[in-house]
Chains A and B, each alone.
Chain A
C-alpha cells in the first residue's frame, strides 16, 4: 500500500460546528504532516508529527487541533472555524522527518459557512 488516504473528501461546516479530518497511511512512515492550501497558492505547512510526537507547529490558531493516535493515523480536529479557513487540507507522510520525499493524500476540501 503506497498511498495516503484522507476522509472526508469534502466537508461543509458552520462556524460553531466541531468536525475532524482524518488521514491514514500504511507505508510504515514515521513522519506525518498537515498542510493548508488556498486556491491558486502553494501548500502551507501547519503541523509535523515525528514518531507520533508533535515536532512542528507553524503558529497555527488553536481552533485547529492535531492528533496522532498511532503511527498510521493523523487527525485534525476543527472547532469554531472562520470562513477564511475554507481551503484544501492536505495530509502527507514521509519515512521520517529527515527524509525529504513526502507522499501526499488527495486532500479534504473544507468550506466554512
Chain B
C-alpha cells in the first residue's frame, strides 16, 4: 500500500515570492504521482501528474513538480506566486494499475499581499 506525507500543513508566502510545497511518499511498487488544488468551497482540480518519462512536469499556470525516486519525493514549486494561488494543495499517489489512490493530508498555501 502507498502512503503520502506533506510535512507542511500551512505555508504563508508573500505575493511574487517563490514557493515549494513538499510531498514525500512510500510505496513497495512503482507509483504515479499527482498534485491536486482545491480552491475555497470548490472541488479538486488536477494540477499536474507524473506517470512516466521526464521527471519534471509542468502545469499551465506556472507550477512544476519533480519526481525524485531516490528521495521518494514529488515537491511542487512555483517561482512567483499570485494571490489567486491561495488554496489547499493535495499530493496523491496511486499504483500503476490505478488502484490504492491515496491523498496526502494537504498543505494550505496562503499568498499574502
Give residues in A with beta carbon < 8 Å to B: 4, 6, 40-43, 45, 90, 92, 94, 96-107, 109
B45 touches A100 (CB 8 A): no
Contact among A43, A98, A107 for B103, CB-based, below 8 A:
A43
A102 touches B101 (CB 8 A): yes
Cα–Cα distance between A105 and B99 once the two chains are bound (Å) = 20
A42 touches B98 (CB 8 A): no
Instruction: Give the interface size bracket for B toward A.
Output: 20 to 34
Contact among B43, B49, B51 for A90, CB-based, below 8 A:
B43
B103 touches A42 (CB 8 A): yes
Cα–Cα distance between A15 and B105 once the two chains are bound (Å) = 29
A41 touches B98 (CB 8 A): no
User: In whole Å, how far is A43's beta carbon from the nearest beta carbon of chain B?
Assistant: 6
Q: How many A-B residue pairs have CB under 8 A?
A: 48
19 A-B interface contacts by CB (under 8 A): A4-B43, A6-B43, A40-B108, A43-B90, A43-B103, A90-B43, A90-B44, A94-B98, A96-B98, A100-B49, A100-B51, A100-B101, A101-B49, A102-B101, A103-B46, A104-B43, A104-B44, A106-B43, A109-B41
Contact among B45, B97, B104 for A98, CB-based, below 8 A:
B97
Give residues in B with beta carbon < 8 Å to A: 32, 34, 36, 41-46, 49, 51, 90, 94, 97-99, 101, 103-106, 108
B97 touches A42 (CB 8 A): no
B98 touches A97 (CB 8 A): yes
Question: In the assembled complex, which residues on chain B have CB atoms less than 8 Å from the CB atom of A107?
Answer: 42-43
Contact among A94, A97, A104 for B45, CB-based, below 8 A:
A104
Enumerate the 4 nearest inter-chain pairs by beta-carbon distance, A residue then B residue, closest first. A42-B103, A104-B43, A98-B98, A104-B44
Question: In the assembled complex, which residues on chain B have CB atoms less than 8 Å from the CB atom of A6?
Answer: 43
